[in-house]
């Protein structure tokens, strides 16, 4: 798939501005959020095209100045890329799939292309705006929601056959909230898959999860491990 020409980028920028203004309650988004670039990523089932903020450090500065959290959503992380590659090879036709901490939406796109009925959630409203745009850009359906994985609203949409998370086990507080929220999200015969680059919080979470879940961990490459959680029989 060829990278879009400047005029297409202008259209994307205009659509994103509208979505971001709405997501931010009417305020003008900071300039680095609309300084976008397009990246093509190859998955086993074909290319995925992702629009994202071009200059992450500039966006970080702008968000810090405004007193906001670091925009970790605004890049694809190696764990998410590896998870998307795994998901792209799994038959998911008609399966209910939840992508937690969806960021730019790569994992959700891979699941939707595999046939899943996808819900992608992120605590960042900006992330959800970009994820929705990226899903549309890649011609896949699916729902997005701006909320925390700990919100009851997510559980009310479940349970899900497959719950996915690319590099979301990085803060011990967030990880504990995730482990507490997980049981009602995963269908009886379902699984939760988390790809992680060996973060300390993830290792602690996986150890704690073994009390409730059967955990299978598999190395995807030198750095990334995929943890598959299933209800302990």
Which residues here bind ligand SAM, judged by CB under 6 A?
72-73, 76-77, 79-80, 100-103, 106-107, 121-124, 127, 148-150, 166-168, 174
Nearer to ligand SAM (CB atom), residue 136 or residue 232 = 136
Find out whether the peptide bond into 159 is cis, omega within 30 degrees of 0: yes
**125: Cβ–Cβ under 8 A, 6 or more apart, which residues?**
23, 24, 146
Instruction: Name the residue nearer to ligand SAM (CB basis): 25 or 94.
Output: 25
Residue number closest to ligand SAM, CB atom: 80
Tell me the closest approach of the beta carbon of residue 2 to ligand SAM, in angstroms.
24
Report the residue number, 57 or 94, with the smaller CB distance to ligand SAM. Answer: 57
Minimum distance from residue 154 beta carbon to ligand SAM (Å): 9
Tokens of 226: 């995929």
Q: Which of 81, 100, 104, 77 is nearest to 12 (CA)?
A: 104
Rounded Cα gap, residues 138 and 136, in angstroms: 5
In the complex, least distance from residue 79 CB atom to ligand SAM, rounded to whole angstroms: 5
- The H or E element containing residue 21 is helix 6-23
């Amino acid at each position: 798939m060829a990278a879009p020409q400047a005029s297409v980028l202008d259209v994307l920028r205009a659509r994103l501005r509208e979505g971001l203004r709405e997501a931010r309650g009417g305020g003008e988004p900071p300039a680095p959020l609309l300084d976008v670039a397009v990246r093509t990523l190859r998955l086993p089932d074909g290319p995925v095209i992702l629009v994202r903020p071009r200059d992450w450090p500039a966006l970080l500065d702008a968000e810090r100045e405004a007193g906001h959290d670091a925009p970790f959503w605004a890049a694809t992380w190696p764990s998410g890329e590896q998870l998307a590659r795994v998901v792209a090879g799994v038959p998911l036709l008609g399966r209910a799939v939840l992508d937690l901490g969806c960021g730019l939406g790569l994992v959700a796109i891979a699941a939707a292309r595999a046939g899943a009925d996808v819900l992608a959630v992120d605590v960042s409203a900006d992330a959800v705006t970009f994820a929705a745009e990226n899903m549309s850009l890649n011609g896949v359906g699916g729902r997005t929601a701006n909320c925390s994985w700990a919100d009851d609203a997510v559980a009310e949409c479940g349970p899900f056959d497959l719950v996915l998370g690319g590099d979301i086990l990085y803060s011990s507080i967030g990880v504990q909230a995730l482990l507490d929220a997980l049981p009602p999200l995963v269908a009886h015969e379902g699984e939760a898959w988390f790809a992680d680059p060996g973060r300390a919080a993830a290792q602690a979470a996986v150890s704690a999860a073994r009390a409730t879940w059967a955990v299978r961990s598999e190395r995807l490459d030198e750095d990334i491990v995929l943890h598959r959680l299933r209800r302990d029989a």
